[in-house]
Amino acid sequence: MKNGELEIPVARGKRLNIPLTRHTLDLISQPGVEVRSFTLTQDRLSLCIARETPMIECASTVGVDRNLRNLTVGNDQETSRYDLSKCVRIANSTVRIVSSFTRDDDRIRTGLASKYGQRRTARVGHLLHTETKTIVAVAVQRREAIVLENIQGIRSLYRKGNGQGRKYRGRMNGWSFGEAQRQIGYKARWVGLPVIRLSRRETRATSITCPRCGERLQSDKRLERKLWCGKCRIVMDRDRVAAINLAWRGRVRFARSRPLMEAQGEAVEAVKGNPTPTVIPGVDARS
């Protein structure tokens, strides 16, 4: 690195200078950041960086319930909802545009569909980046470990023949639930915030279990996305219920892990799924 550029030796006495963006320079100049390697392609430079970050001591947990149109984050103290309905509108617009192509040449249609698909991925990724960045920042400020649910295999619920319409299955199968988890995971590890990933067994029935008494909640067609408890006699939003239950189950996992990590002297043992506190995101620069 020299004068805001990356110098690469290409021959004896010859070097190739690639200017770096301001974002890249600000990132690699942070304390503790180390550049491990770089990858150079025809139109892109990717830097692999790492940083050893001490784990933040958390006193509580916060659950993240991922839905098609929102991210509900919270615990029994407070919950917040982050609107993602724009992602659904972007997906619907892309599908409508691609389906309107009438060109007979399959190569041209495939190329145009790929172009619009990449545009959709970029726009949805940017929206998720904004929301997940806020979620992690609030959790760091409140010193709350983030609890994520395991919803692998959810797409098997929306296959042909399962009783849903074609448009409904298309919306659900285009749901970027994995991207939201990926962004929350690497952003939390970058700042040293613990992330607790529940197993499928621990995730089961989080949205239909009453967080007060533990009874199974009842549904009513007149109540949109709301459930009621026959024992507590209260009506609750199912997304808020899921976030509270996730936070509670993550708190139980975190409490069980604390004696182990204190005995071993390693804070990272409290978080399953994080084999190393080092995160290596890709950073793009102009070529």
Report the distance separating Cα 217 and Cα 244, nearest Å. 14
Residue type, 30: Q
What DSSP assignment string belongs to 234-266?
Answer: EEEEHHHHHHHHHHHHHHHHHHHHHHHHHHHT-
Residues 268 and 250 in one domain: yes
CA gap 70, 86 in Å, rounded: 10
Q: Are residues 137 and 159 in the same domain?
A: yes
Task: Supply the DSSP symbol for 157.
Answer: G
Phi, psi of 265 (to 5 degrees): 75, 25
Task: Verify that 20 and 78 share a domain, yes or no.
Answer: no
Confidence of residue 167 (pLDDT cuts 50, 70, 90): confident
Read off the CATH number of the domain in which 158 is found. 3.30.420
Q: How long a stretch of residues is the chain? A: 287
Q: Per-residue pLDDT averaged across 179-202, rounded?
A: 92
Instruction: Write out pLDDT tens, residues 44-78.
Output: 888 888 888 888 999 899 999 999 899 999 999 99
Q: What's the pTM value of the predicted model, to 2 decimals? A: 0.79
Nearest C-alpha neighbor of 66 from the set 128, 24, 23: 128
Say if residue 44 is in the same domain as residue 66. no
pLDDT number for residue 279: 43
Percent residues over pLDDT 90 in the chain: 34
Structure tokens, 102? 């009438």
Confidence (pLDDT) at 162: 77
Predicted confidence at residue 257, as pLDDT, reads 65
Query: Is residue 265 a part of any domain in this protein?
Result: yes
Rounded average pLDDT over 148-166: 80
